[in-house]
Amino acid sequence: MQQITAEQLRQQLHENQDLLLVDVREEEEHEAFNIGGLLLPLGELMSSAGSIPKDKPVVVYCKRGIRSAIAIQRLQERFGYTNLLNLQGGMEEWKKTQGHP
């Protein structure tokens, strides 16, 4: 599974690189703090997979990187995605390394 660190993601966002963020946490977690992108909770992810493009990098994130890893594994196995990146450490690591984008 491909990974991206909070610092690498922050740099790519700063450079306005064409990528999509997908938050697989629950709605209340997303509302409390997020870095943007689509909210597709893990339980609803498979039925919403059609909204995730296959032609550009997609960074999947959650609180600690566990649910996002599960999400990526499921999407790769079922739909053949090859462009998904897991945010290492999730939102906890993002907050630790600097805070907001």
Nearest residue to 57 (alpha-carbon basis) of 3, 99, 101, 93: 3
What is the Cα–Cα distance from 77 to 63, expressed in whole angstroms?
23
SS3 content of the chain, % helix, strand, coil (to 5): 45, 15, 40
Identify whether 84 is a catalytic site residue: no
What is the Cα–Cα distance from 43 to 90, expressed in whole angstroms?
18
- The active-site residue out of 35, 39, 62, 75 is 62
- 4 beta partners: 87
Q: Which residues are catalytic?
A: 62
